[in-house]
Amino acid sequence: MNRRIVVAMLCAVLLLAGAGGETPAQSPGRLIVQSQTEPPGLDMTATPATATSGIVFYNVQESLVKVDRHGKLVPSLAERWHTADNRNYTFFLKKGVRFHNGREMKAADVKYCFERALNPETKHPYAKDYEAIGDIIVKDDYTVTFALKTVNANFLQNVARAGASIYPRETVDTMKSHPVGTGPFRFEEWVRGDRVVLVKNGDYHVKGLPKLERVTFRFVTDPNAVLAALKAGDVDASLFGLGPEHVQDLQKDARFQVITGDTTNDVILAMNNSRKPYGDVRVRRAMTYGVNKADVLKGAMFGMGKILGTNVDPLNPYYVDLSKAMPYDPARAKKLLAEAGYPNGFDSVLKVSPQYDYTVRSGQVVADSLKKIGVNVKIEQIEWGQWIARVFREADYDLTIIGHAEAWDIKNYANAKYYYRYDSAKFQDLFNKSEVTVDDKARREIYVDMQKLLVEDAPVVWLFMHPRLAVTKKGLQGLWKDLPASANDLSEVSWAPAK
């Protein structure tokens, strides 16, 4: 019997076995969602993992400002804000907002959370986003002012990120396993290896929300097992993790509805710029010319998604379509390799994690494509934990494929210590200039220059934007079509009344 089918059947059996008293899927007021990856922890101030923010952000914990379903910055815990000079931002907090432990949220909590993020000892994953903050002044229980050391054009965007969530200081030591916030759902339990359960917050500060009583995120990794669980009725929705072929199959099934849209998830072929031969820009450009991105999109995603030319995705207001700036051209790729001293190509290892099936699929197409220009790629599959430890943290790799879901992450290319190890003083200068340029037209021009420079330097091969591919049972309503933030906001999700 086919191994993948066996795995799918086994996972489906385990899914049922692990239900542990859970109410069957599609019960009024209840929702069971398939989650592809179990988070390393539930503390967003300790990990940048989207597996964490996908469960916690907007559902359990919230920030002063929110990115809405249209990608716009809107009030959240702050009912409004004001700045007269782009250096001093005053936030006026909603009154009567309570943490899940019953205590009212006040300005002192905001000050504590950001000062903790700025403390090097906490190793906050987004600490660099808040470096412009000079002082945080609590004017009264509901008014707090951030005095910036320098103008920071992305300041509001930064306080809307997952790492800027507001939580009570008395729960810091247990947030990794029991997050507490102000969100529409309270954390109830985490059964390791199986599920995270959230329940309705009856004291939520937005009237009429949430609409669901209980949400269960169940961990199912294998795409075939996800399909089996959906068809068996054991889960109500898959927000990420189905193979594109399954999505096409389910589009024909009247029991389901398919949601397709754009995301900020940019799938890349990363090259270790600090390791030979990828320190040579001619080699990096050759790799870009040598990858047939159309074939990658077709082979990995059945053509769904959008080919990218830089890391700035279509949901970003400064997006420029540079997908054809360095088109597939194997002859040019070979010439560049020869100029770099590799007329016969070279061998390289591509590390991918089967946790994310699209990385393996993409890798197979990339390897076939690069073989035509003399680059022999050996694919090494490693577990996700190993990928985080060896590739992401230690940059111990030649090539890797992964999707970066965080919005406005062009900042990573200005960080020479990021796992790409791309170190360009020119790019860093442009990025730093963009951060202090408030005028929208001028900032847009800088972003165009940054994108063009990324094309020239080719620090990675941008492959495609991973599309929003969500499948739910008929009757589920309120899910976002596009994903402009690393979150799965379920506050407005509900089941349509039965006819």
Which pLDDT value is given to residue 19? 43
Q: How many CB atoms lie within 10 A of CB 499?
A: 4
Which pLDDT value is given to residue 247? 86
Structure tokens at 425: 């003083």
Q: What are phi and psi of 384, to 5 degrees?
A: -60, -40
* Contact between residue 36 and residue 221 where contact means Cβ atoms under 8 Å apart: yes
d(CA 377, CA 370): 7
- Angstrom CA distances, 116 to 124, 176, 342, stand at 8, 16, 50
Average pLDDT of the residues of the chain: 93
Q: pLDDT (tens digit, 9 = 90+) per residue, 154-202?
A: 999 999 999 999 999 999 999 999 999 999 999 999 999 999 999 999 9
Quickly name the fold that domain 65-173 has.
Dipeptide-binding Protein; domain 1 (3.90.76)
Strand 399-404 versus strand 266-271 pairing type: antiparallel
Look at residue 197 and give its three-state secondary structure.
strand
Domain at 266-465: CATH code: 3.10.105.10
d(CA 18, CA 203): 31
* Cβ density class 194-212: b for 16+ within 10 Å, e for less: bbbbbbbbeebbeeebbbb
Q: pLDDT (tens digit, 9 = 90+) per residue, 102-115?
A: 999 999 999 999 99
Look at residue 104 and give its three-state secondary structure.
strand
* Contact between residue 430 and residue 446 where contact means Cβ atoms under 8 Å apart: yes
d(CA 110, CA 63): 9
Helix (H) or strand (E) holding 238, with range, is: strand 237-238
Quickly name the fold that domain 3-59+183-262+468-495 has.
D-Maltodextrin-Binding Protein; domain 2 (3.40.190)
Which pLDDT value is given to residue 240? 85
Q: pLDDT (tens digit, 9 = 90+) per residue, 356-415?
A: 999 999 999 999 999 999 999 999 999 998 999 999 999 999 999 999 988 899 999 999
For the chain, residues classed under CATH 3.10.105.10 are 266-465
Exposure of 214 by Cβ count < 10 A (0-12 exposed, 13-18 middle, 19+ buried)? middle
Which pLDDT value is given to residue 411? 93
Nearest one of 466, 135, 114 to 300, comparing CA atoms: 466
d(CA 37, CA 155): 30
Residue 261 bridge partners (DSSP): 468
* Contact between residue 370 and residue 379 where contact means Cβ atoms under 8 Å apart: no
Q: What is the pLDDT along the chain (499 residues), one digit of tens a residue?
A: 444 444 444 444 444 444 444 545 557 799 999 998 899 999 999 998 889 999 999 999 999 999 999 999 999 999 999 999 999 999 999 999 999 999 999 999 999 999 999 999 999 999 999 999 999 999 999 999 999 999 999 999 999 999 999 999 999 999 999 999 999 999 999 999 999 999 999 999 999 999 999 999 999 988 899 999 999 999 999 998 888 888 888 999 999 999 999 999 999 999 999 999 999 999 999 999 999 999 999 999 999 999 999 999 999 999 999 999 999 999 999 999 999 999 999 999 999 999 899 999 999 999 999 999 999 999 999 999 899 999 999 999 999 999 998 889 999 999 999 999 999 999 999 999 999 999 999 999 999 999 999 999 999 999 999 999 999 999 999 999 999 988 999 999 999 987 7
Which pLDDT value is given to residue 453? 98
Nearest one of 368, 394, 387 to 275, comparing CA atoms: 394
Which pLDDT value is given to residue 245? 87
- Angstrom CA distances, 334 to 7, 154, 203, 457, stand at 41, 41, 63, 17
Q: What's CA 165's distance to the chain center, in Å? A: 16
For the chain, residues classed under CATH 3.40.190.10 are 3-59+183-262+468-495
For the chain, residues classed under CATH 3.90.76.10 are 65-173
